[in-house]
Amino acid sequence: MDDLTHIESLAGALIRSLASGERRKLLRQIARGIRASQSARIARQQAPDGEAFAARRPKKDPRPGNHTAKFLYPKGAAEPRLVLMKSWVHDGPLLTGFDIEVGGIRSFFWDKIDRWVPVTPEEQNKGAGKFRRQGRIRQKAMFRKLRNGRNLRADATDREAWIGFTGRAAEIARVHQDGLSDRPAAKAKPVRYARRVLLGLTVAERSTVLDQLLIQLSSSLARKNE
């Protein structure tokens, strides 16, 4: 048993002496502080022990289509839009490219395309901008959406504090936390992901929590002795 574990045992016994409302307030404050700390650590791409997350697997960029695509979108709409797209790529579930009508880069779900339409010679040669990828996904930090306030939550009762992911985010987080297999897309083959520990107390967080507990307990005892 390390020194922090021994102190935590003492703190746990002392905190039970606080009134229910006071405990709930303190534990909620602690939970939210840890949530912010965990989110910042995930943004740094680090596990609780300080190790860097395993890097993404190398991924080849899809080759842009060398012809104009024309299709009705989306499937099932009363009046689907006719889309004319140049310099596009089929990347996983998405078709992304330069939408001529909009005049910019747009993405469409491949399985929601209603039907393909023949392209005329004039449309095939119609001038338009080019699709340029805005930076490869592997160059960006992982879990940017996963760690936001909507997905990474924190709260407390008068008995415990908790930090965790909710909904679909919890399923995704579990795959990475335990290094499990999952499908990157609905029709894709399962892939085993590297283990990347997202949640877990660091030594600094444990120390900060104990400081908060001791400050609160000292204040509470002082008020009782007045």
pLDDT score for 210 = 84
User: Coil, strand, or helix at residue 98?
Assistant: strand
> What mean pLDDT comes out for the span 137-166?
86
Find the Cα–Cα–Cα–Cα dihedral 205, 206, 207, 212, rounded to 10°. 90
Phi and psi at residue 99, in whole multiples of 5°? -80, 110
- Distance between CA atoms of residues 74 and 163, nearest Å: 39
154-200: pLDDT as tens digits: 999 888 889 999 999 999 999 999 999 998 777 778 889 999 999 99
pLDDT of residue 46 exceeding 90, the answer is: yes
Q: Model-level pTM greater than 0.75?
A: no
| Whole-number Å distance between alpha carbons of 49 and 67 | 50
What is the C-alpha to C-alpha distance for residues 112 and 162, in angstroms, rounded to an integer?
39
137: confidence class by pLDDT, cuts 50, 70, 90:
very low
Q: What H or E segment, with its residue span, contains residue 169? A: helix 167-178
CB 119 within 8 A of CB 111: no
- Closest C-alpha among 173, 198, 213, 197 to residue 35: 198
**In 111-166, at which residue ranges do the beta strands (DSSP E only) sit?**
115-116, 152-156, 161-165
pLDDT band at 136 (very low <50, low <70, confident <90, very high): very low
How many CB atoms neighbour CB 200 within 10 A? 13
Listed range (114-128, 155-169, 194-208) with the worst mean pLDDT: 114-128
Single-letter residue type at 105: I
DSSP line for 5-58: HHHHHHHHHHHTTS-HHHHHHHHHHHHHHHHHHHHHHHHTTB-TTSPBPPPPPP
- Tell me the three state secondary structure of residue 226: coil
CA–CA separation, 182 and 164 (whole Å): 20
For 157, other C-beta atoms within 10 Å of its C-beta total 12
* pLDDT > 50? residue 131: no
Beta strand segments in 58-188, E: 69-73, 81-91, 94-99, 104-109, 115-116, 152-156, 161-165, 181-182
